[in-house]
Amino acid sequence: MIFIKKNILVTGARKGIGRIISELFVSYGATVIGTATDEGGVKNINMYLGSKGKGVCLDVTKQYSINFCLQEIHKEFGHIDILVNNAGITQDNILVYMKDDEWKSVIDVNLNAVYRMSKAVIKPMIKNHYGRIINISSVVSMIGNVGQVNYAAAKSGLIGFTKSLAKEVASWGITVNVVTPGFIDTDMTKNLTDKQKENILSKIPIRRFGNPKDVANAVVFFASDDSSYITGQTIHVNGGMYM
């Protein structure tokens, strides 16, 4: 797979899954613009991307931040060919104790931001008759999880969003797909207790947590020409936890 002359925007690229996605794209010749929420993160991205791309500051919950970020990208790189909506957060609580803020911020980062980011890049993609949007959902969108009504709602929302947008833009050569990771070894899962990990592992037929590269491989496939006839679809990367 070759992504030479392709500009790829990866949100939440400083660490975890977003970083490995960015590094994998770069290894296939792409120009990657990776986003971080602060200057320290931008520096970090610039260090690992080197001359193959650029780190930019972006808060996906703020429309002005999205506008500014895309203007800067446009000046330096032109349009975005491929958008990976990877940024995400969790704020777990069971429903009876959940605060409005926990509900709202998880919906805002994981779902509303995907609407904002996709809307911001879609017109140039339509004009170019080419584009790829890949949304990072979660296995929790399929099976639910105690303490994650907010996260599950947001990540399930992404599936319907993806299918609808896929239908809207297919005739312009744009595909929109979803990757749903299972439990992946990143900062997002590092605070699970040993007991929780043991319990999760017992439900994963492959008997290990995934690593970010497992997810990145699926993202790269959806971004590639090899998947040009596949749209509105979901690849589950979860070791068999949900089939």
Q: Which stretch binds ligand NAD (CB under 6 A): 73-81, 93-101, 159-167, 186-194?
A: 186-194
Task: Pick between residue 19 and residue 128 the one whose CB is nearest to ligand NAD.
Answer: 19
* Of 64, 97, 151, 229, catalytic: 151
Residue 154 Cβ vs ligand NAD, minimum distance, rounded to whole Å: 9
Spatial CA neighbour of 30 closest among 11, 9, 14, 13: 9
Kindly tell me the number of DSSP H helices and DSSP E strands found in the chain: 9, 7
Task: Pick between residue 171 and residue 191 the one whose CB is nearest to ligand NAD.
Answer: 191
Task: Pick between residue 88 and residue 131 the one whose CB is nearest to ligand NAD.
Answer: 88
Record the tokens describing residue 180, joined without a space. 């749903």
Residue 69 Cβ vs ligand NAD, minimum distance, rounded to whole Å: 10
Q: Rule CB under 6 A: which of 1-30 touch ligand NAD?
A: 11-12, 14-18
The DSSP secondary structure of 24-35, one letter per residue, reads HHHHTT-EEEEE
Residue 75 Cβ vs ligand NAD, minimum distance, rounded to whole Å: 21
Q: Which residues of 154-185 are buried (b: 16+ CB within 10 A; e: fewer)?
A: bbbbbbebbbebbeebeeeebbbbbbbbbbbe
Task: Pick between residue 37 and residue 217 the one whose CB is nearest to ligand NAD.
Answer: 37
37 binds ligand NAD, rule: CB under 6 A: yes
- The rounded distance, in Å, linking the Cα atoms of 18 and 94 is 28
Spatial CA neighbour of 165 closest among 93, 235, 117, 224: 117
Binding mask 134-163 for ligand NAD (x = CB under 6 A): --x-x-------------------------
Report the C-alpha dihedral over residues 108, 110, 112, 115, rounded to 10 degrees.
Answer: 160
Q: How far lies 179's CA from each of 19, 84, 95, 137, in Å?
A: 16, 10, 26, 6
* CB-based contact 115:39 (threshold 8 Å): no
| Binds ligand NAD (CB under 6 A): choice among 1, 57, 89, 192 | 89
Q: Which stretch binds ligand NAD (CB under 6 A): 54-62, 67-75, 119-127, 196-204?
A: 54-62
187 binds ligand NAD, rule: CB under 6 A: yes
Known catalytic membership, residue 151 = yes
- Residue 153 burial (CB count, 10 A): 17
- The catalytic residue positions are 151
- Residues engaged in binding ligand NAD (CB under 6 A): 11-12, 14-18, 35, 37, 58-61, 86-89, 109, 136, 138, 181, 183-184, 186-189
